[in-house]
Amino acid sequence: MEFDAKKATEATVKWIREWFDKNGPGCNAIVGISGGKDSSIAAALCAEALGADRVIGVMMPNGEQSDIDMAELLVNHLGIKSYVINIKGAYEAIIGELKFAGIDVSSDTIINLPPRLRMSTLYAVCQSHNGRVVNTCNLSEDWVGYSTRYGDSVGDFSAMSSFTTKEIRAMGRYLGLPSELVDKVPADGLSGMSDEDKLGFTYEVLDRYIRTGEIDDPETKKRIDYLHEKNLFKLRFMDCFVYDGVEVKA
């Protein structure tokens, strides 16, 4: 079945509006703006659902950000309020304290600390602006766990988790976003690599596999299945031990 971007966008906008009516009447949508397609489309969906005056974009460079002009393009295109909050000082302070404590800081720590600091920053803005934090992940990223636990993987609501990268792009075009944002090569801005280089396969291959189960390369299928199974815990509420020796009456 061919993807209907108009129908999907209108349904998502309606869902966002209803979610806020129930979970945050009058609240603002707080979006971390990276300059990539996902945060751009998430912000555009919220602006369509709530009005631009209830969307706040937060740009959070770690020192210098080479593509911050793309984030500014999105903010200006939508006409939303925005802040620039540089996380470099906080990042360097924590890394410095880890080293001072005698910890051999791993490359994964260096890569994943910034998104966790960004999420803390978003919630600080959220609590100071009567807000709700927008999760900007899509189905393709969630499928293979391409997000940081307690970083960009979280938020108060997720409007795009049912849509693949290809479908999200189509929705961005329907929303009238600049092509520079919709078609920008996806990169995490952390590792110095594109998403596809780091994953080892293209989103086109992944999206086709998700929607049809079809894939040409057995090794790529094996890698996707491995990543999917390995990262399913990121999509669950944390596992909790249920002790049957006590009762809950409420």
- DSSP assignment of 94-128: HHHHHHHTT----HHHHHHHHHHHHHHHHHHHHHH
Q: CA nearest 149: which of 101, 187, 106, 113? A: 113
Q: Which pLDDT score is estimated for 189?
A: 64
**In Å, how far are 19, 42, 232 from 33, measured between CA atoms?**
21, 9, 26
Which residues lie below 8 Å from residue 227, measured CB to CB, with a gap of 6+? 143, 144, 145, 199
Q: For residue 229, give both structure tokens.
A: 């199974």
Q: CA nearest 12: which of 138, 107, 99, 96? A: 138
Burial track 51-77 (b if 16+ CB lie within 10 A, e otherwise): eeebbbbbbbbbeebebbebbbbbbeb
Domain-wise residue ranges, the chain: 5-235
Q: Which pLDDT score is estimated for 194?
A: 81
Q: Which pLDDT score is estimated for 238?
A: 85
Q: Which pLDDT score is estimated for 211?
A: 96
The conformation of residue 234, written as its DSSP 8-state character, comes to: G
**Rounded Cα–Cα distance for residues 99 and 159 (Å):** 39
Residue 157 dihedral angles phi and psi, to the nearest 5°? -155, 155
Q: Which pLDDT score is estimated for 53?
A: 98
pTM for the structure as a whole:
0.92
Q: Locate all alpha helices (DSSP H) within the chain, ordered by sequence.
A: 5-23, 37-50, 68-78, 88-100, 107-128, 139-144, 165-174, 179-182, 195-199, 203-212, 218-230
CATH numeric code, 5-235: 3.40.50.620
Q: Which pLDDT score is estimated for 42?
A: 98
H or E segment and range at residue 58: strand 55-59
* CB distance 91 to 190 below 8 Å: no
**Rounded Cα–Cα distance for residues 126 and 64 (Å):** 24
**Rounded Cα–Cα distance for residues 65 and 222 (Å):** 35
- How confident is the chain (250 residues) per 10-residue block, as mean pLDDT? 94 98 97 95 98 98 92 97 98 98 96 96 98 97 93 96 96 97 78 80 95 96 96 88 81
Q: CA nearest 70: which of 81, 59, 55? A: 59
